[in-house]
Structure formats: C-alpha cells, structure tokens
Chains A and B, each alone.
Chain A
Amino acid sequence: MSSAARNASNAGPGSAPPLLDVRDLWVRFRMLDGTVYAVNGISLHLERGETLGLVGESGSGKSVTSLAVMRLLPPQPAAEVDGEIVFDGRDIAHLPEKQMRPLRGRDIAMVFQDPMTSLNPVLRIGEQVEETIRAHREIDSGGARARATELLRLVGIADPERQLERYPHEFSGGMRQRVMIAMALALEPKLLIADEPTTALDVTIQAQVLELLKELTTETGTAVILITHDLGVVARMTRRVAVMYAGMIVESAPTGDLFADPRHPYTVGLLHSIPRLDGALGMLRPIEGSPPDLRREPHGCPFAPRCAWRLDTCWEQMPELRPPEGASDVVAEHLVACYNPVTATEVELARPDRPGFQPAPPPRAVA
C-alpha cells in the first residue's frame, strides 16, 4: 500500500484513532465468464459521530464497499476481498462469521434502499423489532416489547402499540423506512451505514426521513456512512464526502470544500450535469461518454476516456489520492486523485482553460 493512501486513511498524529479505517480495499467478483473489478484499492476513514457521504453513480462501488464493511457480500459469486477494514481498533476484513455476528446489528447497523425487501413479510413488525433487541441483549419479552414501543414512538410512528401488531405490507414506504431506522438504531450502534435510504421515497417523505436520521444519529452519537447518488442529499446531511468512480475514490473533502472548490474533473462534471432548483437555467453540461466496463482490469485513471483534462500519464497509471498542489494546511483534508486537477477558474467553465494546454476531445460514442 502506498504512503499517500496511508496518509489519507489516518486522521493525523496526535488525534484519536478513527472509528473506521478502511485501507487499500479491493473487492473482485470471480464470475464464470471473467472477473468484475468492483472496488479497486480504496482507503477511507470515519471519526466517531461523523457523517460521511459516499457519492457515485451505478457501478461506482459504493454499495459493494458498504457490504464489505458489513461483511454481507454474497457468497455467490465469490467475492475476493483484499485490504484492511479496521473497525474500532480491530481488523474485521477477514473476521470469522462467528465473531462478526455480535458486531453486526449491535456495533454496525445498516439501512437499505428498499424497506419492503429488508423486512420479513410474514412476521409482524413487533416480532422483527423485538428480535433485533433480543439477539444482542439479555432482556425478557416484556422488556423487549416496551423497548420496541419506545423505538417506534421515537421514529415518529403514532399509536406504536397497535402498529407493532401489523405486517409490513400494511405500512407505507415511509413508515417501513422508519421501522428500519428504529431497528438499526435500537442498540445505539457506533456506525450506521445507510445505503440510498430515501431513494425509493417521494420527496416530501424523503425530507421527513432525512430529518429523522439526522436527529437520531446526533442524539445517539452514531457515525453514519450515507451512500447516495444525490448530491443534494449529501449537501444537506454530511460533514465530509468521498466521490467514487469505477471502484475508486477520486476525490474526498469536507462537504463545503467539495462543492465550493471541486478539483477532480469527474466531480466538476457531476456538479455541472445536475439540474437544480436554483441558479441559472439553460442547457445542462453533461459528462459525455459512459462509465467504464468493470469487467476489464483497471489500468490508468478510469475517468481518462471521458476527461478533457487528461494527460498521457493518465492512460498508464492511476493517480494517488493526495492533497492538490498548493493546498494549505487548513484544507489538508481535501484529497484528489488526479494528475491534472481542475483549477479554480476552470470550475465555472467546466473545461480546461490555460495557455498551451490542448483539451482532450470528448468521447465519440454516446451513452
């Protein structure tokens, strides 16, 4: 593992060790007809109580990363995991399932995108919430029921005693997601991984659920990894962001910095391509081309084929995640994996603008 990547994953000398420290993580799926390179050497860290946004499009590896941390990667096709996942001082990347079980749910919990498929349709809501509590705590059924009632009330479900007797299909999408959050936070975990928790919900319900997540995790001091494709949700919810592309982190920064001063061409392209409720109207500036095929072994920067800033080196070698040149100590938390980062004046233009530099032509094929 490179020294730059190690710097990226350590908070710096003198500070407390991070809650989660992922170092040079690789995940590959061996299929019958080849290998899928899903996560390609990412490093990230998370402080206690911190909220980190993990942003990327389909296939960027954000969900696979979170499943690797949860140790929930599917047994088939067999996933090959390399690297370290240090949680609370212990490397859990290859921990036997027996030792992993007590951690999962109690110390690390997860909320998935689709609450209908993550709840058991034939069990009452009450049984499922109580099961979560009793799996980890010595508590009698009366105590578990009381705690379940309290949890449902906490997530804003009216008349919780009666609701515990109902089945998941009797709940709306928003209510199911509230139940999932209640179950995930039942044991006040140290880390909550929320994978697109509001993507399946309507926007007014999304606002309710996000508000709830923020409130509860602040109260319990739970650190959150919020996985989303929605940069608006990131702006509303997170303190720090990591942008993923083709299984790699291409840029990571405090949320304010990332939006005010993006340096990676992909981040800049992403920010320009989203329609907004505010700001100027007119044509959007899309990122031309499409993401790479993950069945090919990564070689060079994965964004190079779509990038106007690319240099010859970009085809050869993947740049390391490091502070952009000229960065002061104050923004040392801002890391970018790019040989030719975007300058402040180029951000608004969304294209390279400097004497003597010939921007690379856009890809020919449309996405």
Chain B
Amino acid sequence: MNSNHPLLQLRDVRVHFPITKGLLLRRVIGEVRAVDGVDLNVLRGQSVGLVGESGSGKTTLGRAVVGLARPTSGTIVFDGEDVWSLGRDERKRLRRRVQMVFQDPYASLDPRMTVGKSIAEPLEIHRLGSPAERASKVAELLEIVGLHPSHTDRYPHELSGGQRQRVGVARALSLDPDFVVADEPVSALDVSIQAQIVNLLQELQRELGLTSILIAHDLAVVRHVSDAIAVMYLGRIVEWSMAADLYREPLHPYTVALLSAVPIPDPAVEAKRERIVLRGDIPSPAAPPSGCPFHTRCWLRDKLGNPEACASDLPLLRSVRSGHLVACHFAEELIA
C-alpha cells in the first residue's frame, strides 16, 4: 500500500442513462448525461464535499464511487486498483472498504429488522465473525454513534429521525471501511438534530481516520465538515479547491452566485449583502447547452458583453491559483 497516491482516483468518468421510448420495441431516443467527464482525486484521510443543485449529478457520481452505478466510460481507481476491470469476487472484496450513508433514514432501513440486525447484516453478507463476535461489534458500533445498548432490539419506527441516521452511520461503519460516501446525510433532519449528526460525522472522520465524500446541497454544512470542495453543475466539476479558499474567494461565476443565494441567519449581514440572482432554471442534463454548460445563466458572461467562447468552447478545469481549479474561460476576472 502506498500512502502517497490518492486513495480514490476518477479519470474522465461518465455515467449516461438512456432515454427509451416504446413498450415492445424499445428504442433509445436520447441520453441523460448525469455525470459527464469528471476527474477527481481524493487523498487518504481527506474529506471532500461534493456540492451542487438537483440535476448536477452529485448523487450519481457518489453511487458510481461506491459501485452502485457503472460508469459508461472512464476509470475509477481505488487504492491503486481499477475497480471495473476486476472480477466479481475481487470487486466484492474492494467494496467492503467503501460504504455509503444514505439521505433518508426512514427509507434506508428495513422496517422489519431490528437495529442490531440491520447493523450486523453487512457482516453476515461478507461472512465475517461468529454470532457472538458480531453481537459485540454491534454493541461497539452503537456506542461509537452515541446510541444506547438497549437500542439493539428496537425497530426503526421506534426511533426518531436523528437516531435512525445514527443507525445508518453505524451500519456503514460495520465493515471498518476506509472510505465513506455520505449522500445528504442530514438534509432530512431538523436543524437542532442536524448539528448532532454533523458533529458525529466530524468526530468519526477524525477518530477513525476515514476518507470521505460528503454529498450535499447545503454549502454551510459542507463548510463545517469538508477539507476540499468540488462544485458540480450539469454533470461536471466546475470548481475545485480547499474549503477555506472556496468560501473566501470563489472563482467560478456559478459558485459565486450559489454562495450569494444562501441566506445567512443574521439580518444585519443579510441587509448589507449583495446578491446575484440567477435567471431561469438549470437546463436539462438530457440536452445540456453547448460550450460552457453554465453560459445560459451566467451573470459574468452578461457583464463581459456575451463573449462567443462561452457558447462555443467547453472550458476545462484548469489551475487558476495554486490548488484552485476552475472551469471558466474568464475566471481571472473574478480575482479581486
């Protein structure tokens, strides 16, 4: 094992879904480009935040990372091994090391299984440990996520939303993974409960030395958890940088607008803030715009007098500052 190379490497990953028509003669009439050419490196121990709005492809990308969606093209390299060139058994062995926490703790737990059984299920599937060893592992996991040992025999409907999400986290940790993908883990929870789960994720990350991807639409949550941030728009990463840099000086016009749209819980700050309100909706990933996918809504392009390059040439992710990558022809305009 080499600790210098990234634990996870994505190279030009695309996940396209066919749009079909007809009941008996199914014809493919188009495709949804959910993920459309993503390069991403995640270092060991790093926590990456993947942010974007609906339709940006962040969830599909997360599913591709854990092996729940097969890329149409491109490679996913985990710990030096090309995941999709491995045989089934090899892939299963690898999959143990990559786990997922899902958004909806109401839907992701089997209502007929006790908490203990849910948490032990991954161990059974991978044939790990004796029943007694599994039971002690369950007890240990319950404690790690802040639940009481008596919760083992409870059913999901007896738990609150926050408690259920703790079970979801315990289940994801049961196989001692190196890598966890958490897809909107707090967005179904009330604010006072959100903070408890955000803190839990942060603690686990530190104590267990996990590498992780946090998928979220809430930029404020990501800011508290992640070291590095990738901003997605229509299946592509449009900006990548260390978290502190991104929030201090966003360099993609979409990120600038996204940050300015988030209301800040302080009326004094809100009164003084300058907001960029984007026009229109996010275009459909089945028919993305030509050139830069953001050019149809871009305020910077307006300001620059609608340069032709935005509509004709796809901007590639390039280094604008050290460690700060931006996919915009005119990112330099935003450097203060």
A interface residue numbers (CB < 8 A to B): 57-58, 172, 174-175, 202-208, 210-211, 229-236, 255-256, 259-260, 269-271, 273-278, 281-288, 290-291, 365-367
Q: How far is the CA of A229 from the CA of B194 in the complex (A)?
A: 12
Do B258 and A367 have beta carbons less than 8 Å apart? no
Complex contact B195–A208 (CB within 8 A): no
8 intermolecular pairs with C-beta atoms under 8 Å apart: A202-B217, A203-B261, A205-B281, A256-B268, A270-B191, A275-B220, A281-B224, A282-B224
Whole-angstrom CA separation of A281 from B148 in the bound complex: 29
Among B150-193, those with CB < 8 Å from A are 160, 162-163, 166, 190-193
Given A202-B217, A233-B263: A57 in contact with B191 (beta carbons within 8 A): yes
Collect the chain B residues with CB atoms within 8 Å of residue A256's CB.
267-268
Q: Across the two chains, which residue of chain A brings its CB closest to B52?
A: A202
Is B20 part of the binding interface, using a Cβ–Cβ cutoff of 8 Å? no
B69 in the interface, Cβ–Cβ < 8 Å? no
Complex: chain A residue closest to B275, CB-CB = A207
**Contact for B269 among A202, A255, A274, A278, CB less than 8 A:** A278
**What 0/1 readout, one digit per residue, does chain B (136-147) give for beta carbons within 8 Å of chain A?**
000000000011
Contact (A204, B196) CB under 8 Å given A229-B191, A277-B219: no
Q: With A208-B277, A233-B263, A367-B160 known to touch, is A283 a contact of B223 (CB < 8 Å)?
A: no
Shortest distance between the CB of B272 and any CB in chain A (Å): 11
Q: Which of B247-267 contact A (CB under 8 A)?
A: 247, 257-267
Chain B positions within 8 Å of A208 at CB level: 277-279
A56 and chain B: residue at smallest CB distance: B190
Which A residue's beta carbon lies closest to that of B51?
A203
Closest to B281 in A: A172
> A58, A202, A260 — which one has the most chain B CB atoms within 10 A of its CB?
A202
Q: Which chain A residue lies CB-closest to B297?
A: A204
Contact B267–A284 (Cβ < 8 Å): no
Tell me the bound Cα distance from A235 to B275 in angstroms: 14
User: Which residues on A sit within 8 Å (CB–CB) of B191?
Assistant: 57, 229, 231, 270, 273-274
Partner of B221, one of A204, A270, A275, A286: A275
Q: Which residue of B is nearest A158, CB measured? A: B280
CA distance A208 to B297 in the complex (A): 13
Q: Which of B147, B190, B195, B247 contacts A277 (CB 8 A)?
A: B247
Contact A273 B194 (CB under 8 A): yes
Point out the residues of chain A lying under 8 angstroms from B261, CB to CB: 203-204, 206-207
Tell me whether A202 and B193 are in contact (CB under 8 A): no
Identity of the chain A residue whose Cβ is nearest the Cβ of B186 in the assembled complex: A275
Closest to B159 in A: A367
Kindly state the separation between the CA atoms of A259 and B268 in the bound complex, as whole angstroms: 9
Complex formed: what's the CA distance from A235 to B262 in Å? 11
Nearest Cβ in chain B — how far from A189, in angstroms?
25
* In the bound complex, CA of A277 to CA of B264 (Å): 7
B288 to chain A, nearest CB (A): 16
User: A174-B281, A290-B160, A367-B193 in contact; A232/B263 too (CB < 8 A)?
Assistant: yes
With A203-B53, A204-B277, A255-B267 known, 9 other A-B pairs at CB within 8 A are A203-B258, A235-B263, A236-B270, A259-B266, A270-B192, A273-B194, A286-B194, A365-B148, A366-B163
**Once the chains bind, are A284 and B166 in contact (CB under 8 Å)?**
no
A321 CB, min distance to chain B CBs, angstroms: 21
B166 and A204 within 8 A (CB)? no
Q: In the assembled complex, which residues on chain B have CB atoms less than 8 Å from the CB atom of A288? A: 196
In the complex, the answer to whether B146 meets A366 with C-beta atoms within 8 Å is yes
Specify the chain A residue showing the minimal Cβ separation from B247: A277
Q: What residues of chain B lie closer than 8 Å to A271, measured between beta carbons? A: 265
| In the complex with contacts A366-B166, A366-B196, A367-B163, A204-B266 CB distance below 8 A | no
Say yes or no: is B198 at the interface (Cβ < 8 Å to chain A). yes
Q: How far is the CB of B324 from chain A (nearest CB, A)?
A: 18
Q: What chain A residues lie within 8 Å of B259 (beta carbons)? A: 277
Q: In whole angstroms, how far apart are the Cα atoms of A366 and B277 in the complex?
A: 40
B53:A286 contact, CB within 8 angstroms = no
Within 8 Å CB of B199, what residues of A?
283-284, 286
A277 to B160, CA, bound (A): 28
Cβ-defined partner of A204 (8 Å) among B218, B269, B278: B278
Q: For the complex, what is the distance from the CA of A211 to the CA of B53, rounded to whole Å? A: 19
CB of B41 closer than 8 Å to a CB of A: no
Given the contacts A57-B192, A229-B190, A204 and B53 also touching, CB distance less than 8 Å: yes
- Chain A's nearest CB lies how many Å from the CB of B50? 15
For A231, list chain B residues within 8 Å (CB). 191, 265
Q: How far is the CA of A367 from the CA of B198 in the complex (A)?
A: 13
A260 to chain B: closest residue by CB: B268
A236 near B192 (CB under 8 angstroms)? Answer: no
Residue B312, interface by CB 8 Å? no
Q: Which of A175, A204, A278, A286 has the most CB of B within 10 A?
A: A204
Chain A positions within 8 Å of B72 at CB level: none
Return the 9 tightest CB-CB contacts between A and B, nearest first.
Answer: A232-B263, A286-B195, A273-B195, A231-B265, A207-B261, A202-B53, A57-B190, A284-B195, A367-B162
Q: B15 to chain A: closest CB distance in Å?
A: 21
A366 to B163, CA, bound (A): 7
One digit per residue, 1 when the CB lies within 8 angstroms of any chain A CB and 0 when it does not, for chain B 195-228 equals 1101100100000000000000111110110000
Residue of A whose beta carbon sits closest to that of B165: A367
Cα distance A365–B227 when bound, in Å? 31
Task: Assess whether A275 is in contact with B198, with CB atoms less than 8 Å apart.
Answer: yes
Pair A277/B196 contact, Cβ less than 8 Å:
no
A255 to B270, CA, bound (A): 12
> Quick check: is B282 within 8 A (CB to CB) of the other chain?
yes
Within 8 A of A (CB), among B263-299: 263-270, 275, 277-279, 281-282
Q: Which residues of A contact B193 (CB under 8 A)?
A: 286, 290, 367
Residue of A nearest to B56 (CB): A202
- What residues of B have a CB within 8 angstroms of the CB of A232 in the complex? 262-265, 270
